[in-house]
Structure formats: structure tokens, C-alpha cells
Amino acid sequence: AQSVTQLDSHVSVSEGTPVLLRCNYSSSYSPSLFWYVQHPNKGLQLLLKYTSAATLVKGINGFEAEFKKSETSFHLTKPSAHMSDAAEYFCVVSLYNQGGKLIFGQGTELSVKP
Amino acid sequence: KAGVTQTPRYLIKTRGQQVTLSCSPISGHRSVSWYQQTPGQGLQFLFEYFSETQRNKGNFPGRFSGRQFSNSRSEMNVSTLELGDSALYLCASSTDSQGVETQYFGPGTRLLVL
């Protein structure tokens, strides 16, 4: 069975410090992996995606993620947090030929302190 | 291009009623997926339509149904509403549903069942 585990339900950082949001996946096949962000009362916005090309993926707003097959991880990082980064972040796995079905992690709420 | 639009944005219903939600995908997108988001269960896949055919279905009771029209617009219907159906319903569109395509989400319809 395919699954996604976000290791932290809540992460708090100070503005200007690095961000690390951790994600592990379980899949029998090579997955496509995504990070989405959801601001309060908003829909989901794509940050970045991995589809078996480069293992280090750069996304919007300075975020990036590294796919590590040996560790089945896809952690999201950002060198310097901004107040506007406060939101909920979802790690998502998608399987080939699964008819649009995305499997979401439980989400990590990121707080950014001034 | 206009993004994914969902109507209505907010809805209040009472138990036993039925409700229909609408989703208009990004122009040119033929795949529409629906998700339910609740605090307890997180984001869960409901179903996906491609070219007017349901291609994948999540683990929801038959009270949840959907359809897609020839212009790719989609509707989902929930009959005999229960309190537990209160949730944010998100739809997402993509060019196809082979697993590697990015799904773009709408702002959601927030349904409250009293």
C-alpha cells in the first residue's frame, strides 16, 4: 500500500531561520511526489514536484526538496523563513495510472515567529 | 488562464438534504478530481473523472456521486447529508491522470451540515 508520513504535525521557526519539513513515503513503484501549501481558508497551491528527473527539486518562493530513494524521503527546505510562509504544508504522492488519485500526508503546520 | 473555480464557496444544509457542488477546470484540462478535507481525516480522495468517465473512486459511501460534462465541468452530489459530511470539498484539474501531471486545486466549497 502507498502512504505518506509527515513526521511533524507542527513546526515553529523564527523569521530568517531555515525551514525543514519532513516527509517519508511508502510506495511499491516509482512515485511522483509533490509538496502543496494551504493558507488559511484557501485552496492548495503547488510548491514543487518530483517526477524522476533531478533528485533536487526547486520550487516557488525559495523552497526546495530532495528525493532520497534509499531513505524514502522527500523533505522540504527553505534557507530563510518569511512571515508569509506560515501555512499548512502537505506532502503528496501520486502513482502512475491511478486515475488522478493523490495520497496526502496529514499536513505540517508551519508557524513563523517575528 | 483562469484557475479552477468552484461554486458555491459556502453552503449550509440540514441533515437529510442533498447538495450539488460544481467545479470548472482550467481550460484544456480534461481530468477533474474531488477531495474531502476534514480536521480529523485530512484530505481524502473521492473520485476522478476524465472525458466524462469516472476512472477512479475512493472509499466513500454511495451517497457521494459525481459526473462530468462534455466541457469538462464536473459536479459532485451528496445525498442524505449527515453531520459528518461537513467539510471543505476541493476539486482539482489536470491535463490527464497518469500520475505525473500536476493537479491544480480550486478554492473549495465549505459545506456545513446542521
What's the pLDDT tens digit per position in B22-76?
999 999 999 999 999 999 899 999 999 999 999 889 999 999 999 999 999 999 9
- DSSP-assigned states of every residue in chain B: ----EEE-SEEEE-TT--EEEEEEPPTT--EEEEEEEETTTEEEEEEEEETTEEEEE-S--TTEEEEE-TTS-EEEEE-S--GGG-EEEEEEEES--SSSSPPEE---EEEEE-
d(CA A71, CA A67): 9
State percent of chain A over pLDDT 70: 94
How many CB pairs below 8 Å do chains A and B form together?
69
Q: Residue A108: closest CA among chain B residues belongs to which residue?
A: B42
Q: What was the pLDDT predicted at A3?
A: 87
Q: What is the mean pLDDT of residues B77-87?
A: 97
Is residue B81 scored above 70 in pLDDT?
yes
Q: What was the pLDDT predicted at A98?
A: 66
Q: What is the mean pLDDT of residues B85-94?
A: 96
A90 interfacial to chain B (CB closer than 8 Å) = yes
- CB–CB contact B33 A103 (8 Å): no
- CB–CB contact B92 A104 (8 Å): no
Task: Give chain B positions within 8 Å (CB) of A96.
Answer: 98-100
Is B110 within 8 Å of B42 (Cβ atoms)? no
**Within 10 A of A84 (CB to CB), how many other CB atoms are there?**
10
Binned at pLDDT 50, 70 and 90, residue B98 comes out as: low
Is residue A26 scored above 80 in pLDDT?
yes
